Amino acid sequence: MSIIKYPIKNYQFTLIIVVMIILVGVSTLTSMPRAEDPDMKAPSFPVVVVYPGTSPKDMEQLIVKPLEARFYGLDRIKRIKTKITNGLAFLFVEYEHGSEYDTKFQELIRELSAAQQEDLPEGIYSAQVLEIDPTGVNVIQAALISENASRATMKKISDDLKAELEKVKALKKVTIHGLPEQLIRVDVHPDRLSQMSIPLTQVMDAIGSEASNIPGGSIHAGQKSFSVKTSGNYQSIEQIQNTIVSSYQGKNVALKEVADVYPDFAPDNHITRLNGYRCLFITAAQKGGMNISETQKGYQKVLSEFKETLPDNVDLVVNFDQAENVNKRLSGLGVDFIIAIGLVLITLLPLGTRASMVVMIAIPLSLAIGIVILNVFGFSLNQLSIVGFVVALGLVVDDSIVVVENIERWMREGYSRRDAAIMGTKQIALAVVGCTATLIIAFMPLMFMPEMSGDFIRSMPSAVIGSVVASMFVALLVVPFLSSILLKPHAHPEGNIVLRTFQRIIHATYAVWLDKALKRPVVTVFIALGIFIGALAMIPVLGFSLFPESEKPQFMITISPPPQSNIFHSDSLARLIENDLNKYEQVKFYASNVGKGNPRIYYNLDQASEREDYAEIFVQLHDHVNAKEKLQLIDTLRKKWFSFLGAKVEVKNFEQGVPILSPVEVRLFGDNLDTLRNLAAHVETMLLNTKGTVYVNNPVANNKSDFKVNVNREKALALGVPTVSIDRTVRMALAGLDVATYSDPSTDDNDYKIRVSMPRNSYPDLSVFDEIFVNNVQGTAVPLSQLATIEMEASPSTINHINRTRVVYVNSFVQKGFTNDKVIDDVIGQMEQMKMPSGYHYEMGGEVESRQESFGGFGTIIVITMFLFIAVLILEFKTFKSTLIVLSVIPLGIVGAVVALWLTGNTLSFVATIGLVALAGIEVKNTILLVDFTNQLRREGMELNEAIEKAGELRFLPIILTTLTAIGGLLPIAWSSNPMISPLAIVMIGGLISSTLLSRIVTPVVYKLIPPKIEDTNE
């Protein structure tokens, strides 16, 4: 039995399957994971080593070089980027894409552990390999605001809120920001230690030993076994105060006799405010595979109930809720989807009410199957997959329209509904399969895009391919079944009045133009070729960019005060910026973070690490502020703060796609730091003088000035003072030394560090050096001034490596009104003219590197795709000529795509390029129908010109209808304000219009010039 006949004959079974598919699709839609953006998990790991008091040059020699040598020898290492600052080494180890994440993570941990035992010096404070969690983006940021509550009160309230949020099943990584670390301070008095001849090390050892919690083991008593608990660690602060540290004149000396012991908070290193009010931020991320809309219900309930319990002087404000953005985007796309359905319905009017009903049933059925397929393959419902379904809307309807229109034509020729459904579907079944294959091939390159760009975009082609494959089966199996039940013969043999009107218009216009073109085929082809060449000439005018900016009503302000500014100066600058922001009515929230970056609230933007000379303000606008108004505000603020009290203030919009530091980046490689600094100064001047650059940054423009403790080793040796004792005492006096941990027995999760230091203010100044005494081996206190001198020295603030070679980055952003491509080309041209010393060279980073990685190997994929196109067409038509005729339509679509981008002011971006690839598949699909039908007419004995003209007329309407439905599905995306998806729709709409109009003339003409050989029907 024919597979097409089976669903018609067993209509009860078919009906049950159709209903089941729709119900499963709806159930999947409501339950599948939802997120704002796709998950991207690259095999890349930060390795952080802290070695306090070590200069960048010493960190480079002692820490970085041994680690880089080890890591670089591992298999599948792609790149190691290293940043070295005072006492800190940050190595970002990148493996080749596709490496097994967990395996490589464990490999790095093993190598770091081995390095600590064999290569690295003793005394390292910490060394760890960190994981980058792709689902670690915070879905909520709330602020606990109070101007007069004590820190202890705020800690208690924030801890309680954290505990409540951690009970929400879908949340993870609930974190408090802006609250200084709570600790137990032990302020030792050097004069008392000296008087009693007690070395400082003895005090610290005493505290550490008393804080130890050593299990006693177990004993057997009869038939039972019992665990033995020892004295354990400290149970109260009083016990810490009573710790015996030594003996003096025959009496025990308690810690409280030589030190002050009390609970305290560490100095502020992260100051947080919301709309100018002092606060603490509470953030939480969502676990993988969860539905953010359901997650929101959980945490909103917790927050609303918790707010009611707060005292009058504390308020709780949610300043960021990702679910609101997601729901807004989903509802917006839902409206777009409904509009698209309406536009599709209008385009189906020529088919008649019943035929339109068949097609409208096929649409949700195809999309339901597509949603199930997407969920099965582990993709979430995010902005990219939703776009895929909206694009698919204009494609899934094509097969059904073609089949229904052909069945209607057979019915108009006198066949019954059942026979017309079977014969009409059989006639074009092969063409439908071929069309589907070309669409799959068109979107397949996007499935195999390399690196992070591929991970980012993959859910979109998956949604399209799944829906298109589903639409093919629906068109060949379900549509004939529905047609055999719902369609009825038309009262007029030529169809309804709308169809007859269209047919008359086609005959009066298209047929005339086609006849004229067929009489002058060579002239027609040359005119089309000239139009195509003109479109290609416009591409450089468009410019190229990788990913567009985000359309969300939010942006980030970064404040970089003069180098080595303290946190108070950074804070004063941030307050001035806040005062300015408060004057703009578009601004809803501004979350200030001084000394550290804002918590991570965007998928490709990590939180900046702690630094006193840094501040960041996360600005959110009111929902009614559109993308254009946001860009105008950003431009205004950039001009306003271009020169701001010696600080560099950068107003940055969020970017889509793979993260890059800045679009324009020059990397200078070499060994000598002074030479690199001089080269960087030249590049900085060049960038400042290049049109279109803004926020030029040269991090090595100024050396860092530090105080160095120069120990007189001979004198220290004579006085019996070990050098390590001097170093430890200086660190204790300035930063304190953590010697143990105190666990508060009254709480479950509050562990406090016991920090030994000297009595001082929160932030030490130069006078602290006069108060430092170092104990010698006999316990006698020796003034630091007798052992060392304090001198100023210049040193590089940062040393960077890429793959074990020193490098300096000089970068900039691009001004509004300039394309990234144009500015980057200008910079490259000037860099090529720049003379480099022997052993030094440059590379372009930023967007150039990201573009190379995103499209690296993509050319090969495109070539393979083209050969697959050809293979499918040859398989269908059996001739190279038919294949060439079909492929000749692709340049015609490029014409409209380029013109559409130019008219709308868009560049040829990564997303627009995806639109071109998808466009090629749709164009080829439409042309297959025309060429296949022309071949059929010639097989039936029709003369060449007559067959071309008749096929052109009869296929004109279904091709126009499928094109209009595709455009109808894409229009809502095109007029949306989302720059991530609108260029894709604009390219496809422009290309469909030009290819549909031009190819209806050009394709028949090319067919006439190179008519394929038609095999005899009997053969």
Structure tokens at 179: 């609250």
SS3 breakdown of the chain: % helix, strand, coil, rounded to 5? 55, 20, 25
pLDDT tens by residue, 801-830: 999 999 999 999 888 778 888 899 999 999
Calculate ∠ Cα 358-361-365, nearest 5°: 135
Residues 6+ apart with CB under 8 A from 872: 434, 437, 438, 441
> Is residue 485 pLDDT above 60, yes or no?
yes
Q: Is 175 exposed, middle or buried (0-12, 13-18, 19+ CB in 10 A)?
A: middle
Q: What is the mean pLDDT of residues 557-567?
A: 88
Q: How far is CA 462 from CA 391, 431, 446, 456, 594, in A?
A: 12, 23, 9, 12, 43
> Is residue 637 pLDDT above 90, yes or no?
yes
CA dihedral 602, 604, 605, 607 (to 10 degrees): 90
Residue 605's pLDDT is 84
461 backbone dihedrals φ, ψ, rounded to 5°:
-65, -30
Residue 730's pLDDT is 85
Residue type, 164: E
The tokens 């100051």 sit on which residue? Answer: 271
> Is residue 856 pLDDT above 50, yes or no?
yes
pLDDT tens by residue, 693-715: 988 888 888 777 778 888 888 88
Residue 565's pLDDT is 86
pLDDT band of 86, cuts 50, 70, 90 = confident
> Is residue 380 pLDDT above 60, yes or no?
yes
Q: How far is CA 440 from the centre of its chain?
A: 26
Residue 495's pLDDT is 56
Sign of the Cα torsion 275, 276, 277, 281 reads: positive
Q: Which residues partner with 84 through β-bridges? A: 89, 799
Residues 6+ apart with CB under 8 A from 537: none
* CA atoms of 609 and 593, how far apart (whole Å): 11
pLDDT band of 230, cuts 50, 70, 90 = low
> Is residue 351 pLDDT above 90, yes or no?
no
Candidates 306, 301, 43; CA nearest to 170 is 301
> Is residue 988 pLDDT above 50, yes or no?
yes
Calculate ∠ Cα 942-944-947, nearest 5°: 55
Q: Name the DSSP letter for residue 730.
A: H
pLDDT band of 63, cuts 50, 70, 90 = very high
Residue 492's pLDDT is 57
* CA atoms of 428 and 954, how far apart (whole Å): 14
Cβ–Cβ < 8 Å for 812, 697: yes
> Is residue 328 pLDDT above 80, yes or no?
no
Residue 53's pLDDT is 66
Following DSSP, what letter does each residue of 952-981 receive, concatenated? HHHHHHHHHHHHHHHHHHHHHHHTSS-TTT
Residue 497's pLDDT is 66
pLDDT band of 493, cuts 50, 70, 90 = low
Average the pLDDT over each of 215-224, 430-439, 970-979 and give the range with the smallest value: 215-224
Q: Name the DSSP letter for residue 492.
A: S
Average the pLDDT over each of 60-64, 216-220, 800-804 and give the range with the smallest value: 216-220
Cβ–Cβ < 8 Å for 412, 495: yes
Candidates 281, 439, 324; CA nearest to 370 is 439
Return the top range by mean pLDDT from 436-450, 547-561, 762-776. 547-561
> Is residue 253 pLDDT above 80, yes or no?
yes
pLDDT tens by residue, 713-757: 888 888 888 887 888 888 888 878 888 888 877 766 678 889 898
> Is residue 227 pLDDT above 70, yes or no?
no
Q: What is the mean pLDDT of residues 369-390?
A: 85
CA dihedral 7, 10, 13, 15 (to 10 degrees): 60
Cβ–Cβ < 8 Å for 321, 284: no
Residue positions counted in the chain: 1019
* CA atoms of 590 and 584, how far apart (whole Å): 11
Q: Which helix (H) or strand (E) holds 607?
A: none
Residue 714's pLDDT is 86
pLDDT band of 1017, cuts 50, 70, 90 = very low
Cβ–Cβ < 8 Å for 442, 865: yes
Residue 325's pLDDT is 80
Residue type, 884: L
Q: What is the mean pLDDT of the chain?
A: 85
Cβ–Cβ < 8 Å for 175, 283: yes
Cβ–Cβ < 8 Å for 314, 157: yes
Cβ–Cβ < 8 Å for 558, 650: yes
pLDDT band of 926, cuts 50, 70, 90 = confident
Q: What is the mean pLDDT of residues 147-163?
A: 92
* CA atoms of 935 and 944, how far apart (whole Å): 9
> Is residue 686 pLDDT above 80, yes or no?
yes
* CA atoms of 814 and 809, how far apart (whole Å): 16
Calculate ∠ Cα 659-665-671, nearest 5°: 115
> Is residue 214 pLDDT above 70, yes or no?
no
Candidates 16, 30, 15; CA nearest to 368 is 30
Q: How far is CA 907 from CA 378, 405, 518, 694, 982, in A?
A: 33, 38, 37, 20, 12
HSE (CB half, 13 Å, CA atoms) of 584? 24
* CA atoms of 792 and 795, how far apart (whole Å): 10
Structure tokens at 685: 């001047």
Residue 1's pLDDT is 46
Q: Which residues partner with 260 through β-bridges? A: 187
Higher pLDDT, 690 or 960: 690
- pTM for this entry: 0.79
Q: What is the mean pLDDT of residues 629-657?
A: 87
Higher pLDDT, 239 or 660: 239
* CA atoms of 457 and 388, how far apart (whole Å): 10
Residue type, 623: D
Calculate ∠ Cα 938-940-943, nearest 5°: 40
Sign of the Cα torsion 66, 70, 71, 77 reads: positive
The tokens 């208690």 sit on which residue? Answer: 156
Long-range contacts of 725-731 (CB under 8 A, 24+ apart): 725/200, 725/201, 725/774, 725/775, 725/776, 726/774, 726/784, 726/787, 726/788, 727/53, 728/200, 728/201, 729/200, 729/772, 729/773, 729/774, 729/775, 729/784, 730/53, 730/772, 730/784, 731/52, 731/53
The tokens 């050989």 sit on which residue? Answer: 1013
Find the helix packing angle between 521-542 and 982-1009, rounded to 10°: 160
Candidates 407, 401, 409; CA nearest to 344 is 401
pLDDT band of 300, cuts 50, 70, 90 = very high
Residue 229's pLDDT is 60
Structure tokens at 394: 């204009």
Residue 126's pLDDT is 83
Higher pLDDT, 769 or 601: 601
Residue 405's pLDDT is 81
Q: What is the mean pLDDT of residues 863-868?
A: 81
Q: How far is CA 257 from CA 237, 742, 755, 756, 882, in A?
A: 14, 20, 17, 14, 99
Residue 760's pLDDT is 66
Cβ–Cβ < 8 Å for 131, 105: yes
HSE (CB half, 13 Å, CA atoms) of 924? 30
Residue 765's pLDDT is 76
Candidates 328, 322, 319, 321; CA nearest to 587 is 319
In the chain, the domains with their CATH numbers are 5-31+348-546+855-1009 (1.20.1640.10), 44-129 (3.30.70.1430), 138-181+268-325 (3.30.70.1320), 182-214+230-265+704-795 (3.30.2090.10), 549-655 (3.30.70.1430)
